[in-house]
Structure 1
Amino acid sequence: MATSVWSRISAALPPDKEHFPLQFSEKVPGSVVEMMRRCRSQVYGDAPAGRRLLDAQIVLDFSWEKLNTGTWRHVDKEWRQVYSYGCLFKVCALCRGEPSEEDLLEALRTCDMGLLMGATIMDDRLQVLVHILQKEVRKDVRNEDRGEAKRMKFALPEFPQISERLTIPRLKCPSLESFKKNYLLPRKAVILEETIDHWPALNQHPWSLEYLRSVAGCRTVPVEVGSRYTDEEWSQTLMTLDEFIDRYILKRSDTSVCGYLAQHQLFEQIPELKDDIRLPDYCCLGDGDEEDVTVNAWFGPAGTVSPLHQDPQHNFLAQVVGCKYIRLYSPEDSDKLYPNPSPLLHNTSQVEVENPDTERFPEFAKAPYLECLLRPGDVLFIPIQHWHYVRSLEQSFSVSFWWS
């Protein structure tokens, strides 16, 4: 197996170092470029394994410091590319010789770090290496605890009673003209039915836990820990999707602690999942191109809450798995929703929607709202800047499309 792994990886690389691009501006010091050239030579040479791994780690450590200096939006793309090259060199170092299963898992994790934190290099070569490594990483199908978890009995969720007077209207496949005239331009919320029934995620490849494990269980993903991002104990960490499912979806010994996978890179990182969804046709009514639509994944257990907040773009929230309770408020009533005075949370209300402090926030009860239960196959149109509160009633996987 070891020989075939390296032969497949080396076949995915340029044939020699002369065809292996390493071009950077003066923003990247010559000493760093020289270290990368040394790593490049080692890919095609016979340097000791320890030396290859050490030099790759030097590139990673130096670029990691640059990635974590200042705000993320100010990180230069070239430093993200340096980090990706460091990841590629480390994968090559780990997979030469006779890599153990731990080496292969570390190589896969390294690719994921490059995809998450780095920038595309060499025609997305890290994604090519991921496909090679995924086929080699063995699944532990003997995991008895996982089998027990599958047989766990989950209590039926308590669904809130939705008043017919307050419910968000539903509509089946309106025409583009009708949607634009009656909902987009007047900025009215609506639930669109039967518009994503053709998604593979809902038919050919239903997104069960087993399916998610099969296509991405060994992949490293960012996870938010905490029931809501406004909690003091909220944090972020990295773990494999298998670990996330086992720890936060199936075995929640402490139901007050939630893990939530919420990220916009998931579908770029794992193309198998991206192939299971489609861009809603109504996004073509926006001002930008398809590339301007931001696609987000939201996967977590029952009880996870998105506090009342507003976004600067329109949103199609497509429900794939499970059910969510959602409440919407108009931006015209923002003064009754008590936005957080913090610059970082100015788009988030201070009020706990389903348990408001009426003494601190007396006007909140006067704010009119609409609500709904969003079920698999439903797509909720949330107009720009409309305040929305979301609570997962079951294990849930949603996909949102932000567009202008």
Structure 2
Amino acid sequence: MGTFKTSAVPVLEHISKKDFIQHYYKPQKPVLIKGLTKNWPAFKKWSLDYIQDKAGDQIVPLYNNEPAKDKQSVYAPVKEMKLKDYIEILKTEPTDLRIFFYEILKKMPELTKDFTYPDIGLKFFKKLPALFFGGGASKVFMHYDIDLPDSMHFHFDGHKHVTLFSPEQTKYLYRVPYSIHNLESIDMDNPDFEKYPALKRAEGITAEMAHGDALFMPSGYWHYIKYLDGGFSMTLRALPRHPKRFANMLYNVLIMRNFDNFTRKYWGQKWLDYKDELAIKRTHKNLNNI
């Protein structure tokens, strides 16, 4: 057992559009910007109490830390609950229950009055702002986003720990074929370097996020997220602009995902086990070549 080699993400209070593009967007490097939201109404208003007050009786799907097995869909929630009742749990006790991709425009469009899209050089896709909720025991498995966006991730009311790995680190991370995640048997908090020796070579970037912080996550970056207490985040996404990465995004969304879903539907756990074995085989082959 051990810990990953990591360095801290650069932390800035403010940055100009020119400097962001030159030093972070173009070279595709993450950065945490603390002052980006301070002029938003959301900076003063957004809290678990604020969302709870607007929740009404809407029902939300909830997920936990357990990976999907056999023919179970990764998008199948473990339970459903009234949003206001779920937020009450977040406020009062640690939980691994979390909300994945709560679409603001569909569920609570009045929240769009509380923020603006930052003029920082990213062409944000304005039809899909999304919230993510989690409690003190919630973890988001290690993955990268299937549509490969350049993302700005904002956190509110609470604290979270984010570990990032660049796409260049993929060869060490035991990526599961036809998927966007690594082996779910890997404990990202205490990796087993004897069982998974390639992990020793992986170098991550860590960020500690508090209320109002904005984290730039470049296209294709892996991220592992732990909620340290109850809170929620918003992600604004920009489609990848590099032609090769845009083509990869189309492949992921239109071909890879559908092939994986189709095969899993018929093979179930056998397909998952096959992919896991292939992930180990390929990673160790790459490690031997290195």
Structures share fold, TM-score greater than 0.5: yes
- Map of 1:304 onto structure 2: 138
Q: Could you tell me which residue of structure 2 aligns to residue 378 of structure 1?
A: 213
CA distance in 2, matches of 1:394, 1:251: 10
1:191 to 26, 32, 52: 32
Give the TM-score normalised by the residue count of structure 1. Answer: 0.52
Please say if residues 53 and 84 of structure 2, whose CA atoms lie closer than 8 Å, have aligned partners that are also in contact: no
Q: What do you get for the CA RMSD once the two structures are aligned?
A: 2.6
Contact 1:220–1:238 under 8 Å retained in 2: yes
The alpha-carbon distance between structure 1 residues 250 and 376, as it changes in their structure 2 partners (threshold 3 A), is closer
1:333 CA displacement: 1.4
The AA in structure 2 aligned to 1:305 is K
CA contact (8 A) 1:260 1:304 kept: yes
Instruction: Give the superposition deviation at 1:322.
Output: 0.6
* Structure 2 residue aligned with 1:208: 48
Q: For the residues of structure 1 that align with 2:85 and 2:126, how far apart are their CA atoms?
A: 32
C-alpha contact 1:222 1:263 (8 A) present in aligned 2: no
Q: Identify the match of residue 242 of structure 1 among 84, 95, 99.
A: 84
Larger RCO, structures 1/2 (Cα 8 Å, 6+ apart): 2
Other-structure match for 2:229: 394
Amino acid at match of 1:238: E
- Give the direction of change, closer, same or farther, for the CA distance of 1:231–1:251 in structure 2 (3 Å limit): farther
Cα distance change on mapping 1:329 and 1:354 into 2, 3 Å: same
Amino acid at match of 1:300: G
Q: Per the alignment, in what secondary structure is the counterpart of residue 363 of structure 1?
A: helix
What does the per-residue CA deviation read over 1:26-63, in whole Å, with 9 as the maximum and x for residues that have no partner? xxxxxxxxxxxxxxxxxxxxxxxxxxxxxxxxxxxxxx
Deviations 1:286-340 (A, max 9, x none): 3xx6536x32211121121111211211111101111111111111111100012
Structure 1 stretches of 4+ with a deviation exceeding 6 A read: none
Name the structure 2 match of 1:323. 159
Q: What's the TM-score, normalizing by structure 2?
A: 0.71
| Structure 2, unaligned runs of 5 or more | 240-290
Contact 2:90 2:231 in 1 (8 A): no
Q: Cα offset for 1:280?
A: 2.4
Given the superposition, is the C-alpha separation of residues 279 and 389 from structure 1 closer, same or farther in structure 2, using an over 3 Å criterion? same
Report the CA distance shift for 1:361/1:403 in structure 2 as closer, same or farther (over 3 A).
Answer: same
Which has a greater percent of helix?
A: 1
Cα 1:180–1:196, aligned 2, differ >3 Å: closer, same or farther?
same
| Alpha-carbon separation, structure 2, partners of 1:241 and 1:328 | 29
- Deviation of 1:239 (Å): 2.4
Amino acid at match of 2:62: V
Q: What count of residue pairs does the alignment treat as equivalent?
A: 228
Partner deviation per Cα, 1:359-403 (whole Å, 9 max, x = no partner): 331110211111121111110001101111110101111111121
Percent of paired sites with the same residue = 25
Q: Deviations over 1:186-225 (max 9, x none)?
A: 001101121101222221x24132x22221132222322x
Q: Gaps (5+ residues) in structure 1? A: 1-162
Aligned to 1:272: 110
